[in-house]
Structure 1
Amino acid sequence: MSYFIDVILPIPLDKEFTYSINSSEAAFVKPGMRVAVQFGKSKIYAALVTVVHQTPPIVYEAKEIEHILDESPIVTKDQLKLWSWISSYYMCTKGEVMRAALPSAFLLESETIVLKNENNTVDELLLKDDEFLVFEALQYQSLLRIQEIMNIVSKKNVLPVIKRLLEKEVITVQEEIYEQYKPKIVRYIKLDQEYKEEEALKLLLDSLTRAPKQREVLMQLFTLEAQTSKPIKVTELVKKSNSSSAVIKTLIDKNILEEYHVQTDRVHYEADTQYESKKLNEYQDIAFKEIKESFNTKDVCLLHGVTSSGKTEIYVKLIEETIKQGRQVLYLLPEIGLTTQLISRLQQYFGEKLTVYHSKYSVNERVEAWNNVKGAKSKAQIVIGARSAIFLPFTNLGLIIVDEEHESTFKQYDPAPRYHARDTAIVLGHMFKAKVLLGSATPSLETYYNAIKNKFGLVKLTRRFGNVLMPDINLVDVKTKYKKKQMTGHFSDTLLEGIQDALREKEQVILFQNRRGYSPVVECNTCGHSPQCPNCDVSLTYHNHRNQLRCHYCGYNMAMLLQCMACNSTELQTKGFGTEQIEQELKELFPDYKIGRMDQDTTRGKYGYEKIINSFEQGEIDILVGTQMLSKGLDFRNVTLVGIMNADNLLNFPDFRAHERSFQLMQQVAGRAGRTKKRGKVLIQTYNPYHQILQQVSINDFQGMYKDQIEERHQYKYPPFFRIIKITGKHKDYNKVNSAIDWLARSLRNSFHENVLGPEFPPISRIRNQYHKNILIKIPQKQSLSKTKDIIKKIHTSFATIKEFSGVRIIINVDNY
């Protein structure tokens, strides 16, 4: 009897593939296990089993699998269900979802290995020079990898050499699969059993009088053993005794010390003491009860609480209740930087029950978190993470919290799957019959609309914790200040006065500028030329600390120019300003104070965020300049002044969400001010103080903003009234992408008529030497979403068959906002 399995391969192909297995493998293999399979001529992949069956494929002969990689499933049935939903809703392949969902250690890759052919005698004279080099190397080495052969023959393309050697039967080739995950093994040390008796120990110490270093190691070992009951690490002993591992090795060789190894988790939290969670104040308590009531009838609830109203404490109470029921909690955050502050807060309440999962962690750390969640271990009852944590193998999920649900960082833009973590969380919650709580001070219009229309529950928290007043927000008219010569650099006299007052009171200041680097444009005063990126349609940004011009789209960089590239004039001037320039101006204006900067350039590395946030919390930094990373739910106790350096570049953006986004961003930044007893102050510098959105920000008028924006959305057919699918074509040839997308738009217009917008080139139409052209499809509420997607797929399939459009890459982005 024949047995078969269907597998998902981690490559962007739409269908599952069938492989054959024998009866004993069929009895062992279960959906969710990985098997190594050959796909194509020689490439081997780790594929994921979805189903075991007995129906052979019709079109092709099923190959046999290489071998089974797991002893038990690493992916649950619920996950496979979620992957199917993501791939159908966001119009991507299951292979792409698999690539995004699994830690890369689970996606085994294969590597070609070259071996000497032992069954053949070789006439060396018949070998060419490069062939002989490889042959000679194999006399000394049992095997060679492709990279090593490249180094030996000093060529990039070594496949012709390998092919010729294969034809001459000098070598054989095989694929080696290597598993990337390695468990962490820690070396521990203890005194040998023989010396546990006092007499034996005394004799031992006497015998070591002439080996002071060895004696010192033993003395330190006794001290450490007296201080703690935990086992002693070798590294710890080396550090304490100021010796080297060679000394310890000598003691091990003499059988005085005994070493042993223990497999441990890479991520563990040292929580000294556990605290009781704080008692809720009356407003929080009302909100908490309302959320629970809402959960009786609805699965999703929106908590609309102003900044600093104590939403986290309500989350803590809900987490406590969920854990008591023995269920898991997923806590999603928009930014990795936020996990830093939150972990230390939640650790005080939940100790070791926390697991953190995000992309700054190493591959091995992510595998361990994955295994802990799947095994429903006690240390993985609460999972905190950025959007990718949605893919973890939960077994008994009871509550999902999506904090700052309005944030655009919950949406994945590249590569596929282009999913939105908030919407996926709602589907995941539905699968587990878990409750979903969305929290925000400035909810997205779509979520708020759903809450008002009674699709979600709605709970409001309108008072700040401890009855602290909302910050006092003032608009500063920069145009008038420039006319009256009241500007120092990019600072108005009002803002400088505010900073001086705060520093005098030993308080901290946050300054927000949503642009990194020193200056976004360098211009020649003589001819007006400004250096552009050779790969993208943007001007290069000047970074002062490296003295270079950089492209923020593709990473291209060059040294700062000494003269204009067009006319050789030396009169170059920087225009506009970023966080780096603000930082430099502040250092000149306030030389006695410590200035910090938080943007993508300063937070690289795993602990980048942590260092800056910690030193700001501990008062080591007086003024912190930053980009939108600062706006996301961080809690600093001693900040009384927040300055927004330039509100206009947020508002003037070609996007239907520009006004909503800038309102959210400014409100969130403003919310960092005055979170304790003293009322905070916010100064917003702008050339247009009478702008509707700025007026609404200054009086915290979310309802006014919502009403204006929702009317506009209704009038111009945007979400939440219409859904949007964005289709982008990419190619390095301008004319090719132009004609291809024009054809696609015409075909779509035959089906969707006036609901197809475009095609048109975006403001930045070339990125990384690829031209982009966009089409927007608007889908009314009464139109079937699945039928619409089917039509788009059909048109896309016929597009792929047209020869002249080959090479044009089509990207489909569902709900691209």
Structure 2
Amino acid sequence: MSHFVDLILPLPLEKRFTYSLSEDEASFVQPGMRLAVPFGKNRIYTGIVAEVHQNPPEVYEAKPIHQILDEKPLLTKEQLKFWNWIAVYYLCSEGEVMRAALPGAFLLESESIVKLSKEVEIEDVELNDDEYLVIEGLQRQSSMKIQEIEQLLDKKKVLPVINKLVDKNLVSLNQEIYEQYKPKELRYVRLNPAYEAESQMHQLLDELSRAPKQREIVLSYFGLTAKKKNALKVKDLLKETGASAGVLKSLLDKNIFEEFHRETDRVSFEGEITNHSIKFNEYQQRAFDQINSNFQDSKICLLHGVTSSGKTEIYIRLIEQALEEGKQALYLLPEIALTTQLIKRLQNYFGEKVLVYHSKYSLNERVEIYRHVLNNNEKGRIVIGARSCIFLPFQDLGLIVVDEEHESTFKQFDPAPRYHARDSAVVLGNIFNANIILGSATPSMESYFNADHNKYSKVELTRRFGNVLMPEVEVVDIKTAHRKKKMTGHFSERLIDEMKEILKEGEQIILFQNRRGFSPVLECNTCGHSPQCPNCDVSLTYHSHNNQLRCHYCGYHIAMQHQCMACGSNEISTKGFGTEQVETELKALFPDAKISRMDQDTTRGKHSYEKIITAFEAHDTDILVGTQMLTKGLDFRNVGLVGIMNADNLLNFPDFRAHERSFQLMLQVAGRSGRTKKRGKVLIQTYNPHHRIIQQVSTGDYEGMYKEQLEDRYQYHYPPYYRLIRLTLKCRDFSKTNDAAEWLARALENVFDRYVLGPEFPPVARIRNEYYKNILIKIPQKQSLGKTKNVIHRILNSFKAIGAFRSVRVIVNVDPQ
């Protein structure tokens, strides 16, 4: 009886691929295991077993597999089910989901290795230039990868060259599979057992009297191991004695010490568990009881709690409950910046059980966390991190917390799968029958709508913890201030006065400006020219710290220009302002204050968030300037004032969610103020003080904003009443992009009629020399989502079959944010 296996390969293929298995392999292989398989001419990929069966493929002959990579499955059956749902719902392939879900170290791929053949006389063979270059390269280094040869010859198609060399028996091609994950090993030393008796030890110390440094190491070793009779880390021993590695090597050579290695975890918790039991106030207790009783009927609960109302404590108690039932808990956050603060709070409670998982961790660290969760170890009962956490191999998930559920960073933009972590978490919870809690001070319209229509249950927390008052919000009209010449740079007189007052009282200030860099536009006052990016349709942003003009889309940069590039005039001025300029102006206004900046430019490293946040918590910083990173649920105890430098650039944005977003952003920033006894203050600078959203922020009127926006959405057919699918076409050829978009829009209109919008250029229509065009499809509530997607799929397949549009890529984004 023949046996076959269906594999998911890490490629954007719509179907699974089938391979043949021998009798023994079939009895061993289980769904979720990794197999190395040949694919294409001479590549080897890692595939995940989806199912084992006995039906041969109809169209092609199944190849045998190359090797089995796992002893036991790396994926659970729940994960395979979840992958399938993501692929179907977000219109992508399972292979793309696999690439996003597994740490790269699990995806072994063959790298074709080219080596010189032995015993071959090169002199007798005629070679062309390319072949000669390859041979010369191989004489210098024993082997080369295909990519290295591509770089050497500076061309993409190098296989023909290599094939000719293989035919001439000059080189050999080996497929080598690299295992990328290596366990971390630490060097340890222990004393040779021969010296353990006291008499031997004295003799040893006498012998070493002529080598004082070696003797000192031995004495330190005894001192350090007196408490615990075992080996010592080499690093600790050298640190304690201050000796060099050479001295230790002499002791190893003399066989006085023995060296060995031990595997260790990269992700470990060193601190103490300071487990203070949580004291709820009556409002938290009531909310907590309500949530628990709601979980009996509905598994999904929306917790709408004002900023600083103590939502985190409720989450911790719910996690505790899940752990007592022997289940795992997942805590999702929108930003890596947020995790740094919360990890400490959770580790003080749960210690080792907390694992953190996000993209700033190295490959090997991610593999270790993945394995802990897969084996359901005690370490890793609680996983906290950003959106990619939903792909971890949970065994028995009991609770999912989605904190700040309204955040758009939960949506993955590139590459596919373009999933939304909040919506996917709801499905994941469903698969495990887990409880799901969505928390926010400013819930997204969709979640609030679902709670309003009894799809979710809803619990409100309307009081701040410790009955602290909500901050006082004041709107400053900078249009009038400019006219009356009451502005210093970008600061109104009112804001400066308040800041002086707060600094005098020893409190801290947060200033919010949603633009990084120094100034977004550089303009010539003579001819009006402003430097543009040659690859994108945007002007270059000036960064003063390295005196550069940079493009925030593709990274193109040039030195700051002191003359107009068009007319040569020296009269150049900057328009608009970013966080850097705010920081510069602050240094002039408050020379004695300690000022810090938090934006994408200052948080590139793994621990950079931590450094900035810890410094602010420890009062090493008086004023913190930042972009929207600051708005995400951070808890600072001593902030007396929050200033929003310019509310207008949030509001005037061509997007149906712009008003909802601005409201959420401003209210969240405001919520960082006055979180302890004293009432905080918020100043919003704007040219348009009577704007509805700004008025609603100043009174904290979420209900008013929700009802008003809902009315608009209903009228203009937007979510939550309609579903959206956005198709983005991109290509380097302008007219091809236009023609392809026209064709696709007409084809869709034939089916969906007036529910197709576009094709339309987005606000930035060219990025990295590629032209973009969008088509939006609106799906009414009564229309079947599944059938709609099948039709789109069919039309896209017809589109791909047109030769003229081969170079046009179509990106499908379901539920765009």
The two structures share one fold, judged by TM-score above 0.5: yes
3-state SS in 1 of match to 2:511: strand
Q: CA deviation at 1:566?
A: 0.7
Contact 1:124 1:132 in 2 (8 A): no
Distance 1:622 1:606 in 2: 24
Computed over aligned residues only, the root mean square deviation of the Cα atoms, in angstroms, reads: 1.6
User: What SS is found at the alignment partner of 1:564?
Assistant: coil
| Match of residue 492 from structure 2 | 492
1:762 aligns with 2:762: yes
Q: What residue is the counterpart of 2:272 in the other structure?
A: 272
Aligned counterparts of 2:149 and 2:793: Cα–Cα separation in 1: 44
How far has the Cα of 1:162 moved from its partner? 2.4
After TM superposition, the score normalised by the length of structure 2 is: 0.98
| Counterpart check, 1:170 vs 2:170 | yes
Q: Distance in 2 between matches of 1:8 and 1:364?
A: 23
What secondary structure is seen at the aligned counterpart in 2 of 1:416? coil
Aligned mates of 1:23, 1:156 — CA distance in 2: 41
Residue 804 of structure 1: CA displacement? 1.7
Instruction: Give the CA deviation at 1:19.
Output: 0.8
DSSP 3-state at the match of 1:4: strand
Contact 1:646/1:685, CA 8 A, preserved across alignment: yes
How far apart, in 1, do the equivalents of 2:36 and 2:121 lie?
34
Amino acid at match of 1:655: D
- Measured in 1, the distance between the counterparts of 2:157 and 2:807 equals 23
Show the counterpart of 1:805: 805
SS of the residue 1:568 aligns to: coil
What CA deviation, in whole Å up to 9, does each residue of 1:748-794 have, x standing for no partner?
A: 11111111111111111111111111111111111111111111111
Tell me what 1:418 maps to.
418
Counterpart position of 2:738: 738
Q: Secondary structure at the match of 2:111?
A: strand
- Give a deviation string over 1:506-535, Cα, whole Å, max 9, x none: 110000000000000000111000000111
**Matched residue of 2:204: which SS?**
helix
Quote the Cα distance in structure 2 between the aligned partners of 1:331 and 1:280.
Answer: 20
Partner of 1:631 in structure 2? Answer: 631
Please name the residue that 1:180 is paired with: 180
The answer to whether the 8 Å contact 1:35/1:49 transfers is yes
User: Is the contact between residue 731 and residue 772 of structure 1 (CA under 8 Å) also seen in structure 2?
Assistant: yes
Contact 2:190 2:230 (8 Å CA) reproduced: no
Q: Separation in 1 of the partners of 2:462 and 2:226?
A: 54
Q: Which runs of 5+ in 1 are unaligned?
A: none
Alignment partner, residue 331 of structure 1 = 331
User: More displaced, 325-334 or 173-182?
Assistant: 173-182
Amino acid at match of 2:107: L
C-alpha distance in structure 2 between counterparts of 1:377 and 1:625, whole Å: 41
How much does 1:248 deviate?
Answer: 1.5
Once the two structures are TM-superposed, the CA of residue 163 in structure 1 deviates from its matched residue by 3.0
Per-residue displacement from partner, 1:449-481 (whole Å, max 9, x unpaired)?
Answer: 111111101000000000000000000000111
SS in 2 for 1:25: helix
**What percent of counterpart residues are identical?**
64
Aligned to 1:400: 400
User: How far apart in 1 are the matches of 2:592 and 2:121?
Assistant: 79
Q: How does 1:403-802 map to 2 (within 5 A)?
A: 403-802=403-802
Q: Superposed, which structure 2 residues align to 1:284-363 within 5 Å?
A: 284-363=284-363
1:65-108 per-residue CA deviation (whole Å, 9 max, x = no partner) reads 11111111111110000000000001001010000000011111
Equivalent position of 2:14 in the other structure:
14
State the partner residue of 1:220: 220
Distance 1:401 1:233, change over 3 A: same
- One-letter amino acid of the structure 2 residue matched with residue 46 of structure 1: T
1:173 Cα deviation after fit: 0.8
Query: What residue number does 1:75 align with?
Result: 75
The answer (yes or no) to whether the contact 2:305–2:439 under 8 Å persists in 1 is: yes
| Alignment deviations for residues 592-616 of structure 1 (CA, whole Å, 9 cap, x no partner) | 1110000000000110100100111
2-side partners of 1:667 and 1:779: how far apart? Answer: 31
Label 1:248 to 1:552 Cα distance change in 2 as closer, same or farther (>3 A). Answer: same
**How far apart in 2 are the matches of 1:154 and 1:103?**
31
Residue aligning to 1:85:
85
Change (3 A) 1:264 1:458: same
1:306-347: CA deviation from partner (whole Å, max 9, x where unpaired): 000000000011111110000000000000010100000111
Rounded to whole Å, the distance in 1 between the matches of 2:662 and 2:751 is 35
* Contact residue 303 and residue 439 of structure 1 kept, 8 A: yes
Going from structure 1 to structure 2, the CA distance change for 1:124 and 1:338 (only over 3 Å counts) comes to same
Q: Deviations over 1:221-241 (max 9, x none)?
A: 222224567752111111221
1:112-148 Cα distance to aligned partner (Å, 9 max, x none)? 1123334766553534566456546656865443466
When residues 786 and 631 of structure 1 are mapped into structure 2, their CA distance, relative to the original with a 3 A threshold, is: same
Shift of 1:569: 1.1
Q: Which residue of 1 aligns with 2:110?
A: 110
- Helix, strand or coil: the match of 2:303? strand
Q: Once the two structures are superposed, what CA deviation does each residue of 1:394-442 show, in whole Å capped at 9, x if it has no partner?
A: 0000000000000000011111101000000000001001000000000
Distance in 1 of aligned mates of 2:136 and 2:455: 73
| Counterparts in 2 of 1:168 and 1:624: CA distance versus 1, 3 Å | same
In the alignment, is residue 200 of structure 1 matched against residue 200 of structure 2? Answer: yes
Partner Cα distance (1:545, 1:310) in 2: 39
Mapped partners of 1:136, 1:555: distance in 2: 36
Task: Measure how far apart 1:730 and its partner are.
Answer: 0.6
Question: Which residue identity is paired with 1:489?
Answer: G
What amino acid is aligned across from residue 268 of structure 1 in structure 2?
A: S
Q: Distance in 2 between matches of 1:254 and 1:474?
A: 76
Q: Report if the CA contact (8 A) 2:273-2:350 is conserved.
A: no
Structure 1's 132 and 489: CA in aligned 2 closer, same or farther, altered over 3 A?
A: closer
Q: 1:254: Cα distance to partner?
A: 1.2
Comparing 267-276 with 366-375, which one deviates more in the overlay?
A: 267-276
Inter-partner Cα distance in structure 2 for 1:285 and 1:633 = 21
1:229–1:424 CA distance, 2 compared to 1 (3 A): farther
State the distance in 2 between where 1:639 and 1:157 align: 59
One-letter code aligned to 2:690: Y
SS of 2:470's equivalent in the other structure is coil
Contact 2:273 2:347 survives alignment (8 Å) = no
- C-alpha distance 136-764 of structure 1, shift in aligned 2 (>3 A): closer
Q: Distance in 2 between matches of 1:228 and 1:525?
A: 74
Q: Which residue of 1 aligns with 2:377?
A: 377
Change (3 A) 1:718 1:612: same
* Distance in 1 between residues matched to 2:353 and 2:329, nearest whole Å: 10
CA contact (8 A) 1:274 1:350 kept: no
